[in-house]
Structure 1
């Protein structure tokens, strides 16, 4: 019942206030800058709330992140190097889904540390800084585990701009 109420009444009005277009532009710029230093592809998705029928059918934030990973074709990169950072505002959830090429190199503990960093910013009400620091940490992890080998295509395979759902 709690999840149903959260998704019915939370999140939808918070998104533009917490992530105005200027912040979304900063996130896109940070994703692009990071992708010049590593061979990963970072995609950020921010969703206000889940559809109530999805909640009633048992969909979790983890399920939704995996669904978006597929729908946004984050899995469909040449080197299996896509990472999705998913934020579900209504439930205060952060999920990370990494493609198999990256999942073999970056541990769950490293991803959990990244989620913790984002949560810390969000808990302080600093949505901008929380998400920017998370993207920075994702870029750092990818630079360490998936460094640029000099054969980059010159442009990212996935859009740098966060998707708002």
Structure 2
């Protein structure tokens, strides 16, 4: 996963500033490397593999007693647990539904922790990305969600997700922010100057 440099972070901040000059919405962007450490996943798969070892050994010409089988199980468990903790392998072992659930939960926590639910007129909008899960979500407070249909956000999310998968996170953020801006200035045009929340990308 690529780390954004200072210039890229500044470009994202500039894009947010430009959008907020045209709308009453408060836009906050959050980038997480991953939504969870998933430490239990390698252990779970290693345990399943270790349980299958005696069955697999039955189809070999080896004659092993109970103690030998137990040793084989422990060795296979320890080796698998280490190998399965390699980040690239670990993420392949995590079920998609689990990754989406963890990322979605983190997105909602970030919505609250960044005080998007306390903006004047309930106009907070969160753009959340978790790189390891290739997960993108846009959460809008009631003042915006009553004006903008979820299907309109979804088309932006789909495009951004493809950018994240391709490793173009920074360009994806800018494109997403600009598209959000087009929607927001239509449904929540600027009625005055305000800046209640930070305009920089929040890194987790």
Shift of 1:15: 4.4
Provide the rounded CA distance (Å) in 2 between the counterparts of 1:138 and 1:24: 18
- RMSD of the alignment, in Å? 1.9
SS across alignment from 1:29:
helix
Cα distance in 1 between the residues matched to 2:12 and 2:123: 19
Partners of 1:31 and 1:162 in 2: CA distance = 9
Over residues 56-77 of structure 1, what are the superposed CA-to-partner deviations in whole Å (9 max), with x where a residue is unaligned?
A: 8x75211111111001101110
Bigger Cα displacement from structure 2, 112-121 vs 68-77:
112-121
Assess, with a 3 A threshold, how the Cα gap between structure 1 residues 31 and 161 changes in structure 2: closer, same or farther. same
Q: Say yes or no: does 1:60 pair with 2:102.
A: yes
Q: Which of 100, 116, 135 pairs up with 2:158? A: 116
180, 183, 187: which is aligned to 1:141? 183
Higher helix share: 2
TM-score, structure 2 normalization: 0.66
Structure 2 match to 1:101: 143
Residues 128, 53 of structure 1: alpha-carbon distance in 2 compared, 3 angstrom cutoff:
closer
Could you tell me which residue of structure 2 aligns to residue 159 of structure 1?
198
Unaligned 5+ runs, structure 1? 1-13
Task: Supply the distance in 1 between the matched residues of 2:140 and 2:39 (Cα, whole angstroms).
Answer: 23
Which residue number in structure 1 is paired with residue 62 of structure 2? Answer: none
CA distance in 1, matches of 2:39, 2:120: 32
C-alpha distance 106-55 of structure 1, shift in aligned 2 (>3 A): farther
Larger RCO: Structure 1 or Structure 2 (Cα < 8 Å, ≥ 6 residues apart)? 2
Give distance in 2, aligned partners of 1:148 and 1:25: 23
**TM-score, normalising length from structure 1?**
0.81
Which protein has the larger Cα radius of gyration, Structure 1 or Structure 2? 2
Match of 2:15 among 16, 19, 30: 30
SS in 2 for 1:147: coil
- Report if the CA contact (8 A) 1:15-1:48 is conserved: no
Distance in 2 of aligned mates of 1:40 and 1:115: 18
Distance, in Å, in 1 between the alignment partners of 2:163 and 2:132 is 16
Q: Does 1:83 align with 2:139?
A: no
Per-residue CA deviation, residues 32-91 of structure 1 (Å, 9 max, x unaligned), is: 1110001101000000012337988x7521111111100110111011000000000110
In structure 2, stretches of 5+ residues that fail to align are 42-97
Give the secondary-structure state (helix, strand or coil) at the position aligned to 2:118: coil
